[in-house]
């Protein structure tokens, strides 16, 4: 090759130079493809923008994603709302906050159709009281309260069964500076029928909302006489104490002065009180947690295994440890509770450490619980059908992958290892490699426990990033690979040629129409996958549905790209 030909080559362009007109400079100084706005929307809804990335500060990442959400709304607001609902309702994201924020932007849009749809789906995205408080805080920062907004928020309180509403009122009382009292006074929902024929449901809902607004005193006194005919409150409507939902009565009873642990346990057992309703001073007694455990949801169990171990309820070979491990392994309950794999992984890392991230809580990890969390991680993914293809799982272990994942203390490097293990447990023919600016063999086995694998991958040396290395290595070693799955933040810049060029070269030299799957572990706008190549697929990282999407694409089963 001539001197001139060496400087300008279509098949090998340094990653610090543009190799395709669609490429843009990434945050690390290299060139990558820019994902389209809808792919970036998915990344934001699943991964959020908390904690920032290695190269991008958190504030900039939040601003960039907010601008992108607004761009999606401007192009097709109805489509944006539908996507928010789809991802949130399926439990695909570890946190619902990005979906709630995006919905608040939609509910504040100038387009009436977008606003109306966003407000109509409010209960689907904001499923619990905490979600509602987040939405109210976000939407209040974007717009004034209109009749339509009041109606939508009122529906949240009026359309769910009274017993489920009562549970929301006692379990989630305040967040983000908002309480049910604040929200109800803005929305002022009208419980109907009023002044006409009354039903038990009417009385019970009215009693619950009065309690949320003004406490037990408001249940026996209604000052809003204008709501009734002639401005007079019917005698039978002045005291609704007998109609107060049982769960609210139990909340009042356990918080009454002089209630001891014995009586508290009786109240917890009889009314299946959640742990959020139990006074904090009682939560240091293992008998209280023993009473809570039989009806405790999986999310609550995962969040409180450390506390239950600390107080002495969870011990080696104890009945409580067996119950916890059995519940954690129940895939149907995991899906019903929308437990996200990242929540399990984070809980496992915290539990294994033997101490909480804040406070003085500490414990000695119990093997049965660790095993249960390990099983829960794999069970929390949707069923993945094996591809039968030869795969190379490629984990970016460069410095930028040390940034936090979805606002947790977990790193993208740890998350990528966990994601790869799902494929390793599913497939028969695969190899796993780590790379930065050089290749590292990862001696891991699908039979290993997840925490062992994460510990192994976290101790690797890391330098700059060259995402072309998997294909380069396969060419050099003459490996027969059907699909390369690269787990990265796409901040690649160190290689002598771009990843898409290396893949094209591998295809030519091997004669195999190899595919490339790029699993983005950050909510930035970059990808190494060429969007014009049908053999390349962009996937949002740590998504409960991601392994199935990847497997379908590699196997040639129908998949929406």
Beta carbons of 480 and 506 less than 8 angstroms apart: no
Tokens of 270: 């009889």
* Distance, CA of 477 to CA of 510 (rounded, Å): 11
Q: Block means of pLDDT (10 residues each) for the chain, length 561 residues?
A: 37 56 54 70 78 55 87 97 94 88 96 97 96 96 94 95 96 92 92 61 89 85 52 58 91 94 96 95 96 94 95 96 93 84 87 84 94 89 86 85 73 82 88 83 83 77 76 94 85 64 91 88 65 78 79 77 43
Output the CA angle 169-357-451, nearest 5 degrees: 105
Q: What is the DSSP letter of 430?
A: E
What pLDDT shows up at residue 528? 64
Tokens of 397: 């272990």
CB neighbour class for 375 (10 Å; exposed up to 12, middle 13-18, buried from 19): buried
Tally of residues, the chain: 561
The reported pTM is 0.76
Residues 6+ apart with CB under 8 A from 395: 413, 416, 417, 420, 432, 433, 434, 435, 442, 457, 487
Would strands 515-520 and 536-540 be described as parallel, antiparallel, or unpaired? parallel
* Distance, CA of 518 to CA of 531 (rounded, Å): 11
DSSP one-letter string for 543-556: -TTHHHHHHHHHHT
Tokens of 310: 């600390």
Alpha helices in 178-312 (DSSP H): 180-187, 200-214, 216-219, 235-238, 246-254, 261-271, 286-292, 298-310
What pLDDT shows up at residue 543? 75
Beta carbons of 430 and 390 less than 8 angstroms apart: yes
At residue 431, the 3 state secondary structure works out as: strand
User: Edge-to-edge strand order for the sheet containing 526-527?
Assistant: 23-25, 31-34, 526-527
Beta carbons of 178 and 145 less than 8 angstroms apart: no
* Distance, CA of 138 to CA of 255 (rounded, Å): 32
What pLDDT shows up at residue 465? 72
* Distance, CA of 274 to CA of 267 (rounded, Å): 11
Scored b (16 or more CB within 10 A) or e, 466-477 reads bbbbbbbbbbee
Q: How many CB atoms lie within 10 A of CB 195?
A: 14
* Distance, CA of 92 to CA of 544 (rounded, Å): 5
DSSP one-letter string for 390-408: -EEEEEE-SGGGGSBSTTS
Tokens of 17: 């130079």
CB neighbour class for 423 (10 Å; exposed up to 12, middle 13-18, buried from 19): buried
Q: How many CB atoms lie within 10 A of CB 229?
A: 9
Beta carbons of 186 and 162 less than 8 angstroms apart: no
The domains found in the chain, sorted by start residue, are 37-249 (no CATH), 279-379 (no CATH), 391-447+457-555 (3.40.50.410)
What pLDDT shows up at residue 3? 35
- Four-residue CA torsion sign, 447, 452, 453, 456: negative
DSSP one-letter string for 30-78: SEEEEPPHHHHHHHHHHH--TT--SSS-HHHHHHHHHHHHHHHHHHHHH
Residues 6+ apart with CB under 8 A from 141: 104
What are the backbone dihedrals phi and psi of residue 139, each rounded to the nearest 5 degrees, phi first? -70, -35
Q: Maximum distance among all alpha carbons in the chain?
A: 100
Tokens of 10: 């279509």
């Amino acid at each position: 090759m001539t001197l001139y030909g060496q400087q300008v080559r279509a098949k090998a362009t340094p990653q610090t130079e543009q190799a395709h007109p669609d490429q843009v400079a990434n945050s690390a100084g290299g060139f990558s493809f820019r994902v389209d706005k809808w792919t970036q929307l998915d990344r934001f809804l699943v991964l959020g923008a908390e904690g920032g990335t290695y190269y991008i500060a958190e504030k900039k990442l939040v601003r960039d994603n907010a601008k992108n959400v607004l761009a999606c709304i401007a192009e097709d607001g109805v489509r944006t709302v539908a996507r928010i609902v789809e991802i949130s309702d399926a439990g695909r994201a570890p946190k619902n906050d990005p979906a709630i924020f995006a919905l608040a932007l939609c509910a504040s849009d100038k387009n009436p159709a977008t606003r109306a749809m966003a407000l109509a789906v409010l209960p689907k995205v904001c499923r619990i009281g905490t979600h509602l408080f987040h939405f109210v805080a976000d939407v209040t920062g974007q717009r004034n309260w209109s009749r339509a907004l009041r109606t939508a928020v009122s529906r949240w309180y009026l359309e769910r069964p009274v017993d489920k509403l009562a549970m929301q009122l006692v379990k989630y009382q305040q967040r983000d500076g908002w309480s049910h009292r604040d929200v109800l006074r803005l929305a002022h929902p009208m419980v109907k029928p009023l002044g006409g024929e009354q039903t038990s449901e009417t009385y019970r809902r009215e009693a619950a909302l009065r309690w949320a607004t003004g406490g037990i005193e408001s249940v026996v006194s209604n000052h809003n006489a204008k709501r009734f005919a002639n401005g007079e409150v019917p005698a039978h409507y002045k005291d609704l104490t007998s109609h107060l939902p049982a769960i609210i009565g139990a909340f009042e009873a356990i918080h009454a002065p002089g209630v001891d642990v014995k009586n508290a346990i009786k109240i917890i057992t009889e009314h299946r009180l959640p742990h959020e309703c139990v006074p904090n001073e009682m939560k240091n007694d293992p008998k209280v947690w023993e009473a809570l455990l039989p009806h405790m949801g999986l999310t609550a169990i995962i969040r409180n295994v450390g506390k239950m171990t600390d107080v002495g309820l969870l011990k080696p070979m104890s009945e409580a440890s067996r119950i916890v491990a059995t519940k954690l392994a129940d895939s149907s309950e995991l899906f019903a509770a929308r437990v996200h794999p990242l929540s399990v992984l984070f809980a496992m890392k915290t539990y294994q450490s033997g101490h909480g991230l804040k406070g003085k809580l500490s414990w000695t990890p119990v093997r049965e619980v660790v095993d249960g969390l390990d099983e829960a991680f794999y069970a929390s993914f949707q069923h993945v059908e094996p591809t039968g293809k030869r795969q190379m799982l490629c984990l970016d272990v460069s410095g930028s992958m040390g940034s936090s994942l979805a606002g947790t203390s977990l790193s993208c490097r740890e998350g990528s290892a966990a994601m790869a293990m799902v494929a390793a447990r599913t497939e028969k023919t695969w190899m796993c490699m780590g790379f930065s600016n050089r290749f590292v063999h990862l001696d891991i086995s699908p039979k290993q426990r997840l925490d062992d694998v994460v510990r192994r991958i976290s101790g690797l040396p890391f330098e700059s990033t060259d995402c072309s290395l998997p294909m380069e290595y396969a060419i050099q070693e003459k490996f027969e690979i059907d699909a390369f799955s690269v787990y990265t933040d796409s901040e690649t810049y160190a290689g002598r040629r771009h990843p898409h060029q290396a893949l094209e070269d591998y295809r030519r030299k091997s004669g195999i129409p190899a595919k490339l799957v790029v699993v983005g572990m950050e909510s930035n706008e970059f990808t190494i996958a060429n969007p014009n190549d049908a053999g390349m697929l962009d996937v949002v990282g740590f998504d409960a549905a991601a392994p199935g999407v990847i497997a379908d694409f590699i196997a040639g089963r129908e998949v929406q790209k």
